[in-house]
Copies of this chain bind each other. A is one copy, B any other.
Amino acid sequence: MSMLGCVTSPSPSDPAPDSLIQRKQRRARQRIIDAADELFALRGFDDVSVSDIAARAEVGRTTFFRYFGDKTEVVFAREQAMLDVIARAEEDASAEAAPDARAAIEQLLPIVLNLCEHAADEPDAFERRAKLLDRHAELRARDALKTQQLAGRLSEVLRRRGTAEHIAVFAAQIALACYETARRRARTAADLIEETRAAFTETLSLGRP
């Protein structure tokens, strides 16, 4: 995973891309995520402060704010990995412009399945997060915003490949609808991928007699 979203960068003298400093940074970021995850599960979201999370992760508050804007952002740390997946799809220069909505939606399917794998790669964390969102409107608002940001990125992927904007916007919203349907239908993290695939298939056969 890249260090996208991390404010600090390795010093110019760093020889390798995955230097000691970068590994340390990644570990600190992960400790913050794990600490927040544990504390939210133990005490609930409202009763945990940034200082509590930093203390449990054994980092300073300054380090916390190097990686996350606020405690809500920690809940959505996984989205960063998801945006990375999309960023890689954007760099896939071999893909061609989609001539119509159907082709555009089909181009988004493998990207969204990849997102699902990232979202579901830690089943316990996935379920804890689902419970947290159930309980907090504030987190659902942030989640809804992040999801719309994903749609914006999906649309951007298509446009960079030369797809017309009115097709790209529509295909991204439909892809998102499939993903959101799957999130609501899936009972476990493992179901998410299959439910997403099923929702795409269902969408792409809506017009069949």
**A positions within 8 Å CB-CB of B:** 101-102, 105, 137, 140-142, 144-145, 147-148, 151, 166, 169-170, 173-174, 176-178, 180-181, 184-185, 199, 202-208
Contact = CB atoms under 8 A, between A and B. Distances in A.
Contacts of A203: 174, 203, 206
A169 to B, nearest CB: 5
Contact of A202 (B101, B145, B204): B101
A185 B166 contact: yes
Contacts of A105: 206
B185 A181 contact: no
Nearest to A199: B170
A145 B72 CA distance: 15
B202 A205 contact: no
Given A105-B206, A140-B148, 13 more contacts: A102-B206, A137-B145, A141-B141, A141-B145, A144-B144, A144-B148, A145-B145, A148-B180, A170-B181, A170-B185, A174-B181, A176-B177, A205-B207
Interface centre among A170, A202, A205 (most CB of B within 10 A): A170
B169 A173 contact: no
Contacts of A205: 206-207
Given A206-B105, A206-B203, A206-B207, A169 B181 contact: yes
Nearest to A141: B145
B202 A170 contact: yes
23 contacts: A101-B202, A101-B206, A102-B206, A105-B206, A137-B145, A140-B145, A141-B144, A144-B145, A144-B147, A144-B148, A145-B145, A148-B180, A170-B177, A170-B185, A170-B199, A170-B202, A173-B177, A173-B178, A174-B203, A205-B206, A206-B206, A206-B207, A207-B208
